[in-house]
Amino acid sequence: MAASAPIGIFDSGVGGLTVVAAVRRLLPNEAIVYLGDTARVPYGSKSPDVVRRYALNAARFLVERGAKMVVVACNTASAHALEAVRNALTCPVIGVIEPGAMLAANHGTPHRIGVIGTEGTVQSGSYQRALAALTPSAFVVGQACPLLVPLAEEGLVDHAATRLLTAEYLAPLVAAKIDTLVLGCTHYPLLRDVIAEVVGPEVRIIDSATAVAEAVARQLDALHLLAAGRSAPDRFFATDTGERFRRVGGAFLGTPIDHVEHVDL
């Protein structure tokens, strides 16, 4: 595997672009191939075996495109399919749950950790297990927030309805007096301000995107696969043919997306 090969990153849709943005900031030399499975989005409310099938499709596509590493930049897919993807590929595979859990566990001495995510992610118990292994004495409470993904996708990041629903979802975590909150969905960094307002300034908010970028850097370095210089521009693929990915994706990436290539999976 050549160090000049791109990093492959996939998500069910645009959410994983928050991970792309973090990787770009930390590793500007790396070329990225991104796939958004927009024809089958969302994964969060679908069952583990359906998500596993889709995640394997997506990961194999990235390998066919020459990826030297695959990042499962979707919490639901990381929860249901990380083992399956690792078993199916020969290149290194990084999910978003372990880096986020490590950051939460190492960040000061958290004793009361809240995790928010999709129905699939929270029900899988993946964060709960990862945190229990890393910081056994911590109290961990999970909360599914199914409407936050569509609200973020619609750009309602500063809307009264978003504040209302966020306050309602987070009420049990506030009542449980959490000191740390893990954003267990790649869509949630867009709602960070509203979430911070609800939980208050004493609660540390863990955005796993940065943690994932650091895990990518560590692993590429360990494998001597860090790119010496940029070999190619980033490429963006989507399984839907529409303009929506380009239009909505810019907000998640933080810069406009010029061109999206279509692929049937």
Q: Which is nearer to its own copies, 45 or 106 (CB)?
A: 45
**171 sits near its own copies (criterion: CB under 8 A):** no
Cβ neighbours around 139 below 10 Å, total:
15
Q: Which is nearer to its own copies, 29 or 45 (CB)?
A: 45
Q: Which is nearer to its own copies, 188 or 215 (CB)?
A: 188
In one-letter notation, the amino acid at residue 177 is K
Going 129 to 130 to 134 to 138, the CA torsion angle's sign is negative
69 by DSSP, 3-state: which?
Answer: strand
- The binder of its own copies chosen from 32, 34, 46, 216 (CB under 8 A): 46
Is 91 annotated in the active site? no
Of 109, 107, 110, 66, the closest CA to residue 89 belongs to 66
- The binder of its own copies chosen from 1, 49, 177, 233 (CB under 8 A): 49
Element (H, E) at 143: strand 139-144
Residue from 22, 105, 185, 215 carrying the catalytic annotation: 185
- The binder of its own copies chosen from 29, 45, 109, 255 (CB under 8 A): 45
Residues 122-161 that bind its own copies (CB under 8 A): 146-147, 150-151, 153-154, 156, 160-161
Q: Which is nearer to its own copies, 35 or 151 (CB)?
A: 151
Among the listed ranges 36-44, 96-104, 109-117, 185-193, the one in contact with its own copies (CB under 8 A) is 36-44
Question: Taking a C-beta distance cutoff of 8 angstroms, is the pair 10, 33 a contact?
Answer: no
Residues 214-243 that bind its own copies (CB under 8 A): 239-242
Cβ neighbours around 206 below 10 Å, total:
25
In one-letter notation, the amino acid at residue 202 is E
Is 145 annotated in the active site? no
**172 sits near its own copies (criterion: CB under 8 A):** no
- The binder of its own copies chosen from 2, 133, 164, 222 (CB under 8 A): 164
User: Closest approach of Cβ 159 to its own copies, in Å?
Assistant: 8
Among the listed ranges 38-46, 101-109, 212-220, 229-237, the one in contact with its own copies (CB under 8 A) is 38-46
Q: Which is nearer to its own copies, 161 or 196 (CB)?
A: 161
Which residues are catalytically annotated? 74, 185
Residues that bind its own copies (CB under 8 A): 38-40, 45-47, 49-50, 146-147, 150-151, 153-154, 156, 160-161, 164-165, 239-242, 244
